Structure 1
Amino acid sequence: MTDPAAPVPADTPRPRDPRGMALYALLGFAAGLPFYMFSTVLTLRLQAHGVALAVIGFFAWVQLLPTLKFVWAPLLDRYSIPGFGRFWGKRRGWIMLAQLGIFSAMIAMALTAGDASLAITALFAVLLAFWTTTLEVAADAWRIELYPTQDEQGPIVAANLWGYRTAMVAAGSGALIVADGAGWVAAYLVIAVAAFLPFPLLVAMRPDGEGGGGRWVGLATGLVASLVILGAAALVTAAVGWAALSAAAGLGIGAGSNVTPYVLVLCMVPFLAMGAALPWIRNAAPTSRLRTSTVLGPYVDFFWRYGAGALLLMAFVSLYRMGDVLALNLSKPMIKGLGYSLTQIGRADSLVALVASMAGVGLGGWLATRWRMTWLLALGAVVAAAGNFGFVWLAHQRVDEALLYVSTAADQFGNGFAGAVFVVYLSLLVNPRYPGAQYAFLTGFAFLLPRLLAGAGGTMVGAIGYDGFFLLSGIVSLAAIPLLPLLARVAARPEDHA
Structure 2
Amino acid sequence: MSESTATPRKSWGEAFAVYLEPRQLIILVMGFASGLPLLLTLSTLSYWLSKVGIDKTTIGLFALAGAPYTFKFIWSPLIDQMPLPVLTRLLGWRKGWLFLLQLLLAAAIFALGFTDPAVNAEATAMMVLAVAFFSASQDIVIDAYRIEILKPEEQGAGAGTTQVGYRIGLLLAGAGAVAMSDFISWQAIFAILAAAVLACAIFTLFIPEPERRDPLVMRKIARKEFVGIAALTNFDYRGRIKEAVVDPFADFIRRPGWFVILIFILFYKFGDAFGGTMATPFYNELGFTGVEIAAVTKVWGVLATAIGGILGGLVVARIGVFKTLMIGGVLQGITNLLFSVLAMKGHDLIWLGVAVSADNLAGGVAAAAFVAYLSELCNLAFTATQYALLTSFMAYGRTMMSSGSGWLADHMPWPEFWATTALMAIPGLVFLLWITRLYPNEKNLVPDQTLTP
Mapping 1:33-432, distance limit 5 Å: 33-147=36-150, 149=152, 151-205=153-207, 292-306=242-256, 309-432=257-380
Q: Distance in 1 between matches of 2:108 and 2:124?
A: 10
Asked whether the equivalents of residues 57 and 457 of structure 1 are also in contact (C-alpha less than 8 Å), the reply is yes
Residue deviations 1:400-430 (CA, integer Å, cap 9, x gap): 3232222222221122111100011111112
Identity of aligned residues (%): 27
- The corresponding residue for 1:445 is 393
Q: Deviations over 1:311-338 (max 9, x none)?
A: 2112211110101110121011011001
Is the counterpart of residue 478 in structure 1 residue 420 in structure 2? Answer: no
Give the ranges of 4+ consecutive aligned residues of structure 1 lying more than 4 Å apart after TM superposition. 14-17, 204-213, 491-498
How far apart, CA to CA, are the structure 1 residues paired with 2:85 and 2:415?
Answer: 52
How far residue 353 of structure 1 moved from its aligned partner, in angstroms, is 1.3
Taking a change above 3 Å as real, the CA distance of residues 493 and 365 of structure 1, as seen in their structure-2 partners, is closer
Counterparts of 2:158 and 2:119, CA distance in 1: 43
Find the aligned partners of 1:202 and 1:45 in 2 and give their Cα distance. 30
Cα gap change, 1:205 to 1:422, in 2 (>3 Å)? closer
Structure 1 position 22, deviation (Å): 0.5
2:90, 2:131 → 1: CA distance? Answer: 26
- Relative to the length of structure 1, the TM-score reads 0.77
Structure 1 residues 207 and 452, CA, compared in 2 at 3 Å: closer, same or farther? closer
One-letter amino acid matched to 1:352: W
CA distance in 2, matches of 1:146, 1:493: 18
Kept in 1, the 8 Å contact 2:378–2:386? The answer is: yes
Gaps of 5+ in 2: 1-16, 211-217, 232-238, 440-444
Higher relative contact order (CA 8 A, sep 6+): 2
Matched letter for residue 185 of structure 2: G
Post-superposition shift, 1:29?
A: 0.8
Per-residue deviation, 1:299: 1.4
Residue 33 of structure 1 deviates from its aligned partner by 1.2
1:87 touches 1:207 (CA, 8 Å); kept in 2?
A: no
Q: Secondary structure at the match of 2:141?
A: helix
CA drift of 1:392 comes to 1.1
Q: Contact 1:59–1:455 at 8 Å: present in 2 too?
A: yes
Distance, in Å, in 2 between the alignment partners of 1:114 and 1:55 is 11
Change (3 A) 1:450 1:17: closer
Match of 2:8 in 1: none
CA offsets 1:373-416 (integer angstroms, 9 cap, x no match): 22111101122113322221111114132322222222211221
Instruction: Supply the RMSD in Å over aligned alpha carbons.
Output: 2.7
Q: Secondary structure at the match of 2:110?
A: helix
Query: Unaligned regions of 5+ residues in structure 1, if any?
Result: 1-13, 226-288
1:463 and 2:411 correspond: yes
User: What is the CA–CA distance in structure 2 between the aligned matches of 1:21 and 1:140, rounded to whole Å?
Assistant: 13
Q: Which moved more, 1:195-204 or 1:115-124?
A: 195-204
The whole-number CA distance in structure 2 between the counterparts of 1:350 and 1:50 is 22
Separation (CA, whole Å) in 2 of partners of 1:18 and 1:428: 20
**Alpha-carbon distance change, 344 to 435 in structure 1, aligned in 2, over 3 angstroms:** same
TM-score by length of 2: 0.84
